[in-house]
Amino acid sequence: MFPPLAKIVDFHTVKKMKVLGIESSCDETAIAVVEDGHKILASQIASQADLHALYGGVVPELASRRHSELIFPMIKSCLNEANLQLNEIDLIAATHSPGLLGALLVGLNVGKALSVSCSLPFVGVHHIEAHLYSAFMSYKKNSRKNSFQENPFPALGCVISGGHTLLVAIHDIGRYEMLAHTLDDAMGEAFDKIAVMLGGSYPGGPFIEKLAKQTKAGLYRLKAPQSKQYPWHFSYSGLKTQVLYAIWGQNLKDMKEASAAALSQEQKAALAFAFQETVFKDLADKFEHHLLKYPFKTIWMGGGVCANMTLRDYLEKRIDLPFFWPGRHLCLDNAAMIAGLGFMKYKLRGPDSLNLAAFPRSLLVSWNPSH
């Protein structure tokens, strides 16, 4: 038997709440304290990029170990930054899906342990849904300045990150309809892999964005692959091969020796430019397809690739609907979005059971169908 959840009075009437958010789904340990779903009191992120760079990708076992080492000192330091004691926290929210199983389990179990030991309610948060919610957090914060004051739903939601590329119809917070997802590499993953081919390192997004700004030349033409069976889903894996062939040129006999080192800076920049142009156009084409079918009022963006300012300019020029972007501090993995969405879930649906499991793979599902 778990102790009674002393802090729960009536979750429908609870307004002011300080939520401790925990994110450990991949290679970032992140802790945040957020008030009322949008006011960030403290947010800390420890990236493990250096640890995994040696191996050319995230090593799950190392990621879990690093989360275990960092998580308690970070909780302490985040509470200090917010000038709060643990007993002033009202709710614990932790990512429970999707991600690396061992990594998820660290944050989820720490969240549950704090819930039991401090008699606090607990909610599990879906990482992809939290990326979408991050645009809502920035919107709430800026809403007085924002010209769009009506109900923003139905909205087109788009998450483009290292692990995901998806489009959903958002009918409300907690009510989603999946429209399209990736069939192979996510958009951020394609940025990361192509950056390495062009002589950069992880994370590839900022490297490609900077490199592409050095040119405007249409030296290379790439084409976004399109699945015959699922033409409105995303597929970026084939772009790696196209970039590789562009690097090798036509001289396949020398392909083992050929590398980006043989390209001039201008050629590398032109390839980065062509890659960005291709994936951004592909995304906008798919937006337009879904905008013809649904009466969307706004577009909500989330995920690490949203940090790309060239993308923001391109989409806003091409698509004539109000866009909501996460602040740049909320694009990459963070715990503020977990605490923020945790508050909304608790307010609308109450606490989760402590039996909630970690799910490494799971699509975004609605949790508020009757609302």
Q: Is 205 in the site for ligand KG4 (CB under 6 A)?
A: yes
What is the per-residue binding string for ligand KG4 in 287-306, x denoting contact by CB under 6 A?
----------------xxx-
Please give the size of the binding site for ligand KG4, defined by CB under 6 A.
19
Written as one string, the DSSP assignment of 275-310 is HHHHHHHHHHHHHHHHHHHS---EEEEESGGGG-HH
With CB under 5 to 8 Å by kind, the binding choice for 27 among Zn ion, ligand KG4, none is none
With CB under 5 to 8 Å by kind, the binding choice for 192 among ligand KG4, Zn ion, none is ligand KG4
Q: Is 192 in the site for ligand KG4 (CB under 6 A)?
A: yes
Q: Is 203 in the site for ligand KG4 (CB under 6 A)?
A: yes
Exactly one of 37, 102, 107, 163 binds ligand KG4 (CB under 6 A); which one? Answer: 163
**Partners of 169 in the β-ladder:** 156, 177
With CB under 5 to 8 Å by kind, the binding choice for 37 among Zn ion, ligand KG4, none is none
Site for Zn ion in 310-349 (CB under 5 A): 333
**Partners of 172 in the β-ladder:** 175
Report, in Å, the least distance between residue 22 CB and Zn ion: 14
Distance between CA atoms of residues 266 and 211, nearest Å: 9
Q: What is the largest CA-CA distance in the chain?
A: 73
Q: Is 161 in the site for Zn ion (CB under 5 A)?
A: yes
**Partners of 182 in the β-ladder:** 234
CA dihedral sign of residues 106, 111, 116, 117: positive
With CB under 5 to 8 Å by kind, the binding choice for 205 among ligand KG4, Zn ion, none is ligand KG4
Distance between CA atoms of residues 354 and 133, nearest Å: 23
Burial class from Cβ neighbours inside 10 Å (0-12, 13-18, 19+) for residue 136 reads buried
Report, in Å, the least distance between residue 165 CB and Zn ion: 12
Q: Which residues bind ligand KG4 (CB under 6 A)?
A: 161-163, 188-189, 191-192, 203-206, 209, 303-305, 307-308, 332-333
